[in-house]
């Protein structure tokens, strides 16, 4: 533990205070041989990577969620899971992360330590190493307490070719569980509205689930985690990229009653609500039963369900068959339903 109770500008100044912050908080949280050298870059051997697959997957994301801590997660867990999941959606095995911290002057060091401990625990759970990073401190008011950037590297096995352009008429659409949990959990955590709910964020790593799906069907067509913009945005990306139509069945969508109730009360559409542990998959129909069985056998896919299918027309559109027997177009989200959800 560092001596200061709060982060000061000196902790970003490159001197003794910054060294103490890194050595007493950051290094113990992410201890591994690649990070321990404290070079300005991680040096990773290529031979071991080539034994896993034939392509690298590389991604980056930034996390600015408010509040920092919420039921079911926090900004640290979110940063690791989010980047791991972005890698996993290509079929990659996630291996290495970077961690960039932008800290507002005055953040309690105990809160920073709590975030780092959460990142460390999540990284261990997912089997990835945080191997390089950076720390910056900004003046009071220049940030909202703490922002995190994580970049990730993974390896894709030969023969895996998951793309948003590969949906084909006849395919089925699968989700791995209830929708909108994260968005409602963040809304409740902000205490901005008179909502009382014990709904927790669905923040979780999905790489293990994806590998189980690939084992059941190496020819998965499309995968995407339904984060900002929710399931509707992901399916519109598939429809546009593949030039097909995706049809959803409202009756089949897994939604917790308290999430549905919150959305109805606030005039929000659950199809656009953020998730942090849910994916949408487009799978060949002949493989759907095997994929669904593999998903049900994994903790992150116990509530998986087939929620729709892929058609040829109207190309580029997502259509919802409603509970009342009608249908409506599910378009891309215009604007935002909730700010700062990840």
By the 8 A CB rule, do 109 and 7 touch?
yes
Domain 172-329 has CATH 3.90.650.10: yes
Q: Residue ranges of the domains in the chain?
A: 9-156, 172-329
pTM of the predicted protein model: 0.96
Tens-of-pLDDT digits for all 342 residues of the chain?
A: 677 899 999 999 989 999 999 999 999 999 999 999 999 999 999 999 999 999 999 999 999 999 999 999 999 999 999 999 999 999 999 999 999 999 999 999 999 999 999 999 999 999 999 999 999 999 999 999 999 999 999 999 999 999 999 999 999 999 999 999 999 999 889 876 666 678 999 999 999 999 999 999 999 999 999 999 999 999 999 999 999 999 999 999 999 999 999 999 889 999 999 999 999 999 999 999 999 999 999 999 999 999 999 999 999 999 999 999 999 999 998 777 777 888
* Fold category of 9-156 in CATH: 60s Ribosomal Protein L30; Chain: A; (3.30.1330)
């Amino acid at each position: 533990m560092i001596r200061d109770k709060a982060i000061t500008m000196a902790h970003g100044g490159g001197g003794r205070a910054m060294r103490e912050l890194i050595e007493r908080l950051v290094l113990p949280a992410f201890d591994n041989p690649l990070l321990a050298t404290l070079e300005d870059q991680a040096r990773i051997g290529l031979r071991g990577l080539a034994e896993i697959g034939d392509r690298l997957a590389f991604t980056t994301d930034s996390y600015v969620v408010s509040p920092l801590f919420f039921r079911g997660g926090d900004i640290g867990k979110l940063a690791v899971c989010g980047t791991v999941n972005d890698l996993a959606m290509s079929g990659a095995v996630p291996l290495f992360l970077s961690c960039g911290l932008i800290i507002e002057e005055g953040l309690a060091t105990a809160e920073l330590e709590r975030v780092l401990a959460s990142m460390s625990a999540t990284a261990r759970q997912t089997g990835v190493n945080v191997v390089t990073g950076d720390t910056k401190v900004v003046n009071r008011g220049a940030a909202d307490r703490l922002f995190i950037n994580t970049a990730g590297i993974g390896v894709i096995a030969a023969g895996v070719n998951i793309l948003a352009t590969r949906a084909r008429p006849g395919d089925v659409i699968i989700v791995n569980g209830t929708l909108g949990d994260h968005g409602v959990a963040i809304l409740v955590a902000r205490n901005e509205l008179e909502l009382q709910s014990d709904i927790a964020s669905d923040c979780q790593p999905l790489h293990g689930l994806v590998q189980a799906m690939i084992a059941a069907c190496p020819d998965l067509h499309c995968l995407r985690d339904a984060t900002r913009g929710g399931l509707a945005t992901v399916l519109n990306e598939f429809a546009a990229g593949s030039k097909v139509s995706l049809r959803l069945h409202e009756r089949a969508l897994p939604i917790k009653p308290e999430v549905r109730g919150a959305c109805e009360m606030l005039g929000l559409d659950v199809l656009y609500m953020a998730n942090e542990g849910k994916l949408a998959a487009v799978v060949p129909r002949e493989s759907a039963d095997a994929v669904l069985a593999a998903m049900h056998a994994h903790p992150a896919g116990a509530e998986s369900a087939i929620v729709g299918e892929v058609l040829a027309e109207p190309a580029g559109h997502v259509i919802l068959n409603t509970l009342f027997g009608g249908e409506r177009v599910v378009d891309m989200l215009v604007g935002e339903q909730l700010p700062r959800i990840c």
